[in-house]
Amino acid sequence: MPKRLLSSRWLPVLGLISLVVLLIACTPEHPQSTFEAAGPVAKSQLNLFWILFWMSLAIFIVVVGALLFTLFRFREKPGTALPFQTHGNRKLEIAWTVAPSLLLIALAVITVQTLFALDSPSQDDPLQVEVIAHQWWFEFYYPEYNVTTANEVNVPVGRDVAFKVDSRDVIHSFWVPKLRGKIDIIPNVTNNTWFSASEPGLYYGQCAEFCGIAHAFMKFRVVAQHEDEFLEWVAGQQAPARFATEGLASEGSLVFNTKGCITCHTVAGPDSAAMRDSRTASFLGGQNLVHAPNLAHFASRGSFAGSMFENTDENLAAWLRDPEGVKPGNRMARLADAFNNPDMALSESDIEALVAYLQSLQ
């Protein structure tokens, strides 16, 4: 069996596959592409993938090539005698048991090495972030800064970030494809993961474990910033909430308080430790209380509603007008008085005022 014949026959296919893969890898509009690794962890996982890919492709070409050759060479031809009734060949069978085993041993070594290498952060003093997953949004808490935020997590470039993940209902999964593979977020099980971003930018994440009706709309973003910008952001989040005292925003503040928004959303500033503890206790006590994103610094975020929408006035108004219509299954549409009690329904002017108010919460 001349090897050259095989490889030349498969060269166009090989080229095509590489082309397709490269096309996916190089197109800029792929916010969640694992091919565009933007941090050391994702890079190391991607390297492993490429090793596997080329190895698999080589095996595929050899085995399918052998198969096709056999089919062609031994196709039925008129007038040929019945074939010899060969029952086996021990040497051959030992060979094709040992060869894949050796390959797999090599693979096993790099697998175990990478598993241990990626287990804990490489830096001594990573930034700590707690991730609390809810149906269907992500809450983030920075214990060293006492900052609470939702849907977007800001991190400094080049510094390892250690995430402690926990859930307040069902199982979710924390996944930023460009920075690292998944870690599941499991109630009553505390999981840890870490990554770091090499370049500033927005990195898109999404819940990857089916978690109920709005699973498809449960996203978040990682905002990677230079250290000084990050600290500036932290200071902004730590500042007490602004109170709207005049104009449309102050009307919006009134709507926020009277139409029941305040029941689930905090606007007073970072959540206090006591508030956080009582939420945990009520969840573990089976009370299933719902709390919603802290909005104290809502206007500083680029997106809202499980990071499904860009934070613009139009999107926010559309969301307040018909949350079920734009994000089916969400809890606000089903639980909030404003959308279930006709007496509390939001009028167009209420919505306008609320948008003005929320956008004033820098």
Partner 1 sequence: MVAANELIGGVLAKRPVAPTGVVGWITTIDHKRIGILYGVTAFIFFILGGIEAFLMRIQLASADSSLVSPEVYNQMFTMHGTTMIFLVVMPMGAAFFNFVIPLMIGARDVAFPRLNAFSYWTFLFGAILLNISFLTGGAPNVGWFGYSPLTDNIYSGGSGVDYWILGLQVLGVSSLAAAFNFIVTIVNMRAPGMSMMKLPVFAWMTLIVSFLLVLAFPVLTVAITLLLFDRLFGTTFFDVSAGANPLIWQHFFWAFGHPEVYILILPAMGIVSEVLPVFSKKPLFGYTVVVFSGVLIGFMGWGVWSHHMFTVGLGPIANSAFALITMFIAVPTGIKIFNWIATMWGGSIKFSTPMLFAIGFITMFIIGGLSGVMHAVAPSDTQQSDTYFIVAHLHYVLFGGSIFGLFAGIYYWWPKITGKMMSELLGKVQFWLFFIGMNITFFPMHFLGMDGMPRRIVTYAGESGWEFWNAFSTAGVFLIGLSIVVFIHNVIYTARNGKKAGNDPWDARTLEWSISSPPPEYNFVEIPTVKDKDAFWDEKYSQGPDGRPIPKVQGAAEVAVKEKEHNIHMPTPSYYPVLLSVGITLIAGGLVSHLSVSIIGGILALFAVYSWAFEPATAPDAPASSEKEGAY
Residues from 310 through 329 that contact partner 1 (CB under 8 A) = 328-329
Residue type, 269: G
Which residues lie below 8 Å from residue 316, measured CB to CB, with a gap of 6+? 304, 309, 354, 355, 358, 359
Interaction mask 128-157, partner 1, x per CB under 8 A: -------x----------------------
Strand partners, 173: 184
Q: How far is the CB of 100 from partner 1 (least distance, A)?
A: 5
Q: What is the number of other CB atoms lying within 10 angstroms of the CB of residue 303?
A: 20
CA 332 centroid distance within chain: 22
Q: Candidates 65-73, 154-162, 296-304, 350-358 — which segment interacts with partner 1 by CB under 8 A?
A: 65-73
> Does 54 sit near partner 1 (CB under 8 A)?
no
163: three-class secondary structure by DSSP: strand
User: Helix 348-359 vs helix 247-258: angle between axes, to the nearest 10 degrees?
Assistant: 110
DSSP conformational letter for 285: T
Q: Least distance from C-beta 355 to partner 1, angstroms? A: 22
Q: Specify the 3-state DSSP secondary structure of 144.
A: coil
Q: Which of 2, 86, 91, 342 binds partner 1 (CB under 8 A)?
A: 86
* 96 lies in the binding site for partner 1 (CB under 8 A): yes
Residue 16 interacts with partner 1 (CB under 8 A): yes or no: no
Tell me the window of 88-96, 123-131, 247-255, 349-357 that interacts with partner 1 (CB under 8 A): 88-96
Regarding 202 and contact with partner 1 (CB under 8 A), the answer is no
In our burial notation (b when 16+ CB lie closer than 10 A, e otherwise), range 162-183 reads bbbbbbbbbebbbbbbbbbbbb
Which of 3, 29, 144, 274 touches partner 1 (CB under 8 A)? 29
Stretch 212-251 residues interacting with partner 1 (CB under 8 A): 212-216
In the bound state with partner 1, the residue whose beta carbon lies nearer, of 74 and 243, is 74
Q: Is 71 left (phi over 0), alpha (psi -120 to 50) or beta?
A: alpha
Binder to partner 1 among 126, 181, 200, 302 (CB under 8 A)?
181
Nearest approach in angstroms of CB 49 to partner 1 is 4
Q: Is 208 in the site for partner 1 (CB under 8 A)?
A: yes
